[in-house]
Amino acid sequence: MELEVYNISGTKTDKKVSLAEDIFSIKPNDHAMYLDVKQIMANSRQGTHASKERNAVTGSTKKIKRQKGTGTARSGDIKSPIFKGGGTVFGPRPRDYNSKINRKLKKLARKSALTYKAKDNNILILEDFEFETPKTKNYLELLSNLNLGNKKTLLIVNESKPNIFLSIRNLKKAKIIRAANLNTYDILYANNLLIVESSIKEIEKVFASKQ
């Protein structure tokens, strides 16, 4: 699969790149993508939710009324869940939501997500570039030149680029990620993938490795 290379001005260059068919043109596995995205979202949960149960509520332990003869139901202390301000019954407790799936399944999920983007023509290849200073205006201008101003974009780079990262971080619909850290959730969340030319080899290296 061949794609043309664009510069940051939004014009085509005379270069073309080939995308590996075993990464960008496989038979997609929807269930693998579901499992991978489910795991990513679960692992991002803090799991710190908690509520005060009867033993954690501050209050007197004195029985508030006699056991019989009142004509109403028996009751214990003021910390009982049936009273306002009492403890919560079966409330949430801190827990770890982390889960694991095997490496081959994760790799299949990422390949499937990349394949969908390629089939929908939602991948653009950019020449390597760098900003002299971190300015959000620079990246907005780049998106405007590519007619992607209102789209959610994921910029895939080969190495750390601080000025580009700082230019993007305030934009809700834009994200930058290194090729080595590519994941299914970010690929599917973006409308368009902007792949820097030098990162293509890194992507191929990641999927060729055993990890």
Residue 107 shares a structural domain with residue 158: yes
Identify whether residues 168 and 123 lie together within a single domain: yes
Cα separation, 29 vs 124, whole angstroms = 23
Residue 79 shares a structural domain with residue 106: no
Does one domain contain both 8 and 76? Answer: no
Question: Rounded mean pLDDT of 164-168?
Answer: 94
Question: Average pLDDT of 85-92?
Answer: 92
- Answer yes or no: do 41 and 142 share one domain: yes
What is the average per-residue pLDDT within 97-101? 91
Query: Is residue 211 predicted with pLDDT exceeding 60?
Result: no
pLDDT bracket for residue 31 (50, 70, 90): very high
Residues 138, 200 share a domain: yes
Q: 145 with 108, same domain?
A: yes
Q: Which of 61, 96, 131 is the last residue of a domain?
A: 96
Which pLDDT score, from 0 to 100, does residue 208 have?
80
Q: Phi and psi for 11 in degrees, rounded to 5? A: -105, 150
pLDDT band at 94 (very low <50, low <70, confident <90, very high): very high
- The reply to whether 125 and 106 lie within a common domain is yes
The domain that holds 164 is classified in CATH as 3.40.1370.10
User: pTM of the entire structure?
Assistant: 0.82
Query: Is the predicted pLDDT of residue 4 greater than 70, yes or no?
Result: yes
Same-domain status, 142 and 195: yes
pLDDT of residue 149: 83
> Looking at the DSSP assignment, which residues form a beta bridge with residue 193?
123, 154
Question: pLDDT per residue over 106-137, tens digit each?
Answer: 999 999 999 999 999 999 999 999 999 999 99
Quick one: 155 and 113 in the same domain?
Answer: yes
**61/77 Cα distance (integer angstroms):** 5
Per-residue model confidence (pLDDT) at position 207:
87
3-state SS string for 101-137: CCHHHHHHHHHHHHHHHHHCCCEEEECCCCCCCCCHH
Q: Are 23 and 125 part of one and the same domain? A: yes
Report the pLDDT averaged over residues 18-37: 94
The last residue of a domain, from among 96, 129, 159: 96
Q: Which domain holds residue 58?
A: 49-96
pLDDT-derived band at 160, boundaries 50, 70, 90: confident
**pLDDT for 2 beyond 90:** no
Total domains in the fold of the chain = 2
Q: Residue 210 has what pLDDT? A: 58
The DSSP line for 155-195 is EEESS--HHHHHHHTT-TTEEEEEGGG--HHHHHH-SEEEE
Question: What pLDDT does residue 143 have?
Answer: 93
Of 96, 125, 157, the last residue of a domain is 96
Whether 182 and 193 map to the same domain: the answer is yes
- Average pLDDT for 161-180: 93
Which pLDDT tens digit goes with each residue over 65-88? Answer: 999 999 999 899 999 999 999 999
